[in-house]
């Protein structure tokens, strides 16, 4: 959990919107031009100025009667919303507009040359907009056209015809409708009386005054109680039979429950105890008399005979009590069974009778419940009919629910071409920037030291900028800083060998090895650059010599050359170096001599930097990592994926070298606030960069 929380707090510095825009500037430009090219013609088309006439209709939620009546009618919330929608649809209805277009004045102001009535209706429907703001009683009607020719007259005529149609439909044939509604009202009242009489007969037969559908009927309660009593009696009978069977049954030769109970009764019987006590006391007296007498003495024989009689009397009394107790327990158990059976049979007969009566009772009770529902439904119909009668009996000249609030007036509706163009430009730039940022987020390649820190769990010891004349001085400074770090590790921890390996090929490991060795030599540390990359040799190691011999020659089993004889001496910016030499395979064949060769080289050099093949492609890097005191993993920016770095890190974790470090190489520099751009500017000027005006405004 600690590593996860730590990983979340590391700032990678990866997301840079300005860098993304500069990186994908041509795509951003293409998107902006495309959106503007498509949007400007649309703004020309939809931003044209037009004319409109507006009117407002009031739809009251309450029916307003005239002075001759005090009764009104309110529309509920749901009914009111539906009523408003109905009126909005009615304004644009074909029959309403057809009647409008029959008026000569409207034909003169709306019909175009050669246009049919049907076409004029369609155009009128498309030009009319009727809207209601939720929670308000007003419908706003707008008629829009490119020409201002008497639009207010046309719209006022439409509203006039609509209001007339609305009144006709609401109050059409009111007298006839009232008569029919009253007839229906009377028939429903007769039906209610009939249903009530049916319910009364059922109530008299069942002896019930009310019928409730949510509860059980009273007879169901009686039936449930009888069933419960019958089941209880059956359980008692089964318990009694089980008790009798358990009295006489024994398991594995042990005593029966009956014998145990009888023995307990005999042991606790007070009469038998008193009787036995008296006989035993007499037996004790006789034994006292017999003491000291011979068997031939008459008293001895009489006492002995009496003792035998006492023992037989005790045994006979005990057996009699045992027999009587057994018989009494068995008879009691049988009597309980008989009693339980009798009760069970009586309850069963009673339950059968009640079930027969319950069927008839339930049928009538349910029929009464149905009648109750029918009566309630009829009452609802009566209420609706009475409300409709009340509505229609109000005079037809009452103002009603709908009336004109504000007549139509003509106004000019200016076009929104400028606003649309501004919106299109904003959308174009936003879409272009968004696509650039999205593409930048899709690119998962490692770019910043923060990403390396997040993936490995420790920050890189150095990050080196790409080959760029503008940043060459800063890059050299960072390379020198890295060399000083290796020198400190050599002094403090006696690290003699450093292995440089990359995650992938082409990461600049060879150049970095030669540069570090050269800088360390200038710092006074005797340093050798050792090429052990049989995977891909580099010509810089053999520059200045014609010899083809190298490390592979020393590793040959037949070679006895001293390693220092094959070292290419420093020239220019190249340090002392030992090339790999001629080799037929893409991996080293050490023959067990590598460690000895390194020890011989160590006699002449303080520090050896070993250039090895990429860790993910060759096993030589793993082999050399076991020998080295420190391993530096070179990560190429803009070329290494997070998964590749994690796999390389897991390989190094298995080697477990004493020192592990990471170097982010070829970090790309973007101008305009991109990666490391601020740092480069501060390095050149030698002073702190001032924040831009936006930051100064926000963080002043």
Domain membership of residue 198 (yes or no) is no
Residue 546 sits in the same domain as residue 667 = yes
Which letter does DSSP use for residue 688 in this model? P
Q: Which domain does 607 fall in, by range? A: 449-689
Residue 465 sits in the same domain as residue 325 = no
Tokens of 223: 């039936």
C-alpha–C-alpha distance, residues 667 and 635, integer Å: 10
C-alpha–C-alpha distance, residues 586 and 618, integer Å: 8
User: Residue 130 belongs to a domain with what CATH number?
Assistant: 3.30.70.1130
Q: Which residue has the tokens 């000083």?
A: 484
DSSP string, 566-597: GPBPPBTTB-SEE-----SSSS---TT-HHHH
pTM value is: 0.48
Please give the pLDDT value at position 216. Answer: 57
Q: Which residue has the tokens 């993910």?
A: 616
Number of domains in the chain: 4
Residue 588 and residue 620 in contact, taking contact as beta carbons nearer than 8 Å: yes
C-alpha–C-alpha distance, residues 335 and 690, integer Å: 112
User: Greater confidence, 367 or 488?
Assistant: 488
Residue 234 sits in the same domain as residue 378 = yes
Residue 376 sits in the same domain as residue 232 = yes
Please give the pLDDT value at position 251. Answer: 59
Alpha helices in 117-256 (DSSP H): 117-127, 151-171, 174-206, 218-248
Domain membership of residue 227 (yes or no) is yes
Does residue 69 register a pLDDT over 60?
no
Does residue 6 register a pLDDT over 60?
no
Domain membership of residue 181 (yes or no) is no
Residue 371 sits in the same domain as residue 284 = yes
Quickly count helices (H) and strands (E) in the chain: 23, 13
Residue 557 sits in the same domain as residue 646 = yes
Please give the pLDDT value at position 75. Answer: 63
Residue 555 sits in the same domain as residue 587 = yes
Domain membership of residue 188 (yes or no) is no
Share of the chain above pLDDT 90, in %: 2
Residue 255 sits in the same domain as residue 319 = yes
Domain membership of residue 71 (yes or no) is yes
C-alpha–C-alpha distance, residues 681 and 689, integer Å: 7
Q: How confident is the model at residue 526 (pLDDT cuts 50, 70, 90)?
A: very high
Residue 626 sits in the same domain as residue 665 = yes
C-alpha–C-alpha distance, residues 537 and 543, integer Å: 12
E-only strand ranges, 38-137: 50-59, 62-63, 73-74, 128-132
Domain membership of residue 109 (yes or no) is yes
Please give the pLDDT value at position 585. Answer: 75
Burial of residue 388 (CB within 10 Å: 0-12, 13-18, 19+) is: middle
Average pLDDT over residues 212-238: 72
Q: How confident is the model at residue 67 (pLDDT cuts 50, 70, 90)?
A: very low
Encode pLDDT of 668-682 as tens digits.
Answer: 776 544 445 666 666
In SS3 terms, 449-472 reads as HHHHHHHHCCCCCEEEECCCHHHH
């Amino acid at each position: 959990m600690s590593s996860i929380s730590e990983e979340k707090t590391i700032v990678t510095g990866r997301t840079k919107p300005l860098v993304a825009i500069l990186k994908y500037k041509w795509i951003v430009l293409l998107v902006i031009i495309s959106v503007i090219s498509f949007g400007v013609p649309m703004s020309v088309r939809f931003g044209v100025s037009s004319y409109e006439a507006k009117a407002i209709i009031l739809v009251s939620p309450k029916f307003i009667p005239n002075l001759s009546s005090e009764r009104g009618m309110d529309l509920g919330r749901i009914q009111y919303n539906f009523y408003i929608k109905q009126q909005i649809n009615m304004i644009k209805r074909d029959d309403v507009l057809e009647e409008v277009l029959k008026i000569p004045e409207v034909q003169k102001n709306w019909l175009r040359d050669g246009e049919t009535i049907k076409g004029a209706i369609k155009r009128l429907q498309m030009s009319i907009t009727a809207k209601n703001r939720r929670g308000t009683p007003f419908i706003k009607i707008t008629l829009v056209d490119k020409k201002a020719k008497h639009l207010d007259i046309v719209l006022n005529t439409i509203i006039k015809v609509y209001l007339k149609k609305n009144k006709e439909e609401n109050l059409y044939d009111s007298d006839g409708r009232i008569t029919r509604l009253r007839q229906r009202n009377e028939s429903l009242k007769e039906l209610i009386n009939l249903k009530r009489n049916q319910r009364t007969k059922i109530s008299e037969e069942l002896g019930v005054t009310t019928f409730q559908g949510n509860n059980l009927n009273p007879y169901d309660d009686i039936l449930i109680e009888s069933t419960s009593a019958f089941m209880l009696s059956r359980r008692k009978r089964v318990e009694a039979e089980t008790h009798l069977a358990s009295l006489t049954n024994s398991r594995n030769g042990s005593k029966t429950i009956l014998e145990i109970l009888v023995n307990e009764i005999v042991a606790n019987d007070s009469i038998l105890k008193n009787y036995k006590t008296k006989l035993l006391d007499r037996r004790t007296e006789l034994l006292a008399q017999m003491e000291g007498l011979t068997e031939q003495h008459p008293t001895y024989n009489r006492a002995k005979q009496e003792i035998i009689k006492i023992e037989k009397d005790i045994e006979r009394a005990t057996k009699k009590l045992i027999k009587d107790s057994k018989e009494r327990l068995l008879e009691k158990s049988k009597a309980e069974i008989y009693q339980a059976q009798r009760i069970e049979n009586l309850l069963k007969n009673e339950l059968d009778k009640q079930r027969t009566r319950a069927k008839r009772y339930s049928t009538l009770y349910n029929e009464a419940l149905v009648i109750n529902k029918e009566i309630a439904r009829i009452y609802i119909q009566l209420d609706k009919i009475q409300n409709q009668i009340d509505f229609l009996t109000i005079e037809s000249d009452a103002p009603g629910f709908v009336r004109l609030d504000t007549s139509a007036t003509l106004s000019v509706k200016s076009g929104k071409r400028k606003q649309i163009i501004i919106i299109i430009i904003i959308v174009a730039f936003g879409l272009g920037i968004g696509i650039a940022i999205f593409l930048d987020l899709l690119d998962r390649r490692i770019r910043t030291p923060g990403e390396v820190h997040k993936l490995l769990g420790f920050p890189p010891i150095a990050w080196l900028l790409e080959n760029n004349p503008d940043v060459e001085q800063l890059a050299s400074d960072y390379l020198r800083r890295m060399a000083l770090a290796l020198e400190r590790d050599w002094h403090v921890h006696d690290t003699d060998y450093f292995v440089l390996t990359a995650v992938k090929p082409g990461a600049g490991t060879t150049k970095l090895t030669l540069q570090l060795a050269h800088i360390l030599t200038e710092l006074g540390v005797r340093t050798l650059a050792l090429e052990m990359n049989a995977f891909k040799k580099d010509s810089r190691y053999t520059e200045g010599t014609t010899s083809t011999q190298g490390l592979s020659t020393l590793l040959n089993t037949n070679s006895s050359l001293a390693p220092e004889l094959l070292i290419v001496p420093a020239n220019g910016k190249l340090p002392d170096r030992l090339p790999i030499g001629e080799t037929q395979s893409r991996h080293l064949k050490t023959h067990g001599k590598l460690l000895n060769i390194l020890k011989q080289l160590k006699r002449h050099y303080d520090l050896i930097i070993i250039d090895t093949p990429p860790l993910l492609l060759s096993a030589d890097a793993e082999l050399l990592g076991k020998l080295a005191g420190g391993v530096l993993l070179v990560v190429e920016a803009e070329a290494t994926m997070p998964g590749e770095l994690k796999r390389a890190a897991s390989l190094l974790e298995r080697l477990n070298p004493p020192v592990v470090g990471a170097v982010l190489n070829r970090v790309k520099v973007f101008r305009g606030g991109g990666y490391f751009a601020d740092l480069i500017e501060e390095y050149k000027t030698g002073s702190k960069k001032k924040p831009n005006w936006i930051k100064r405004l926000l963080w002043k």
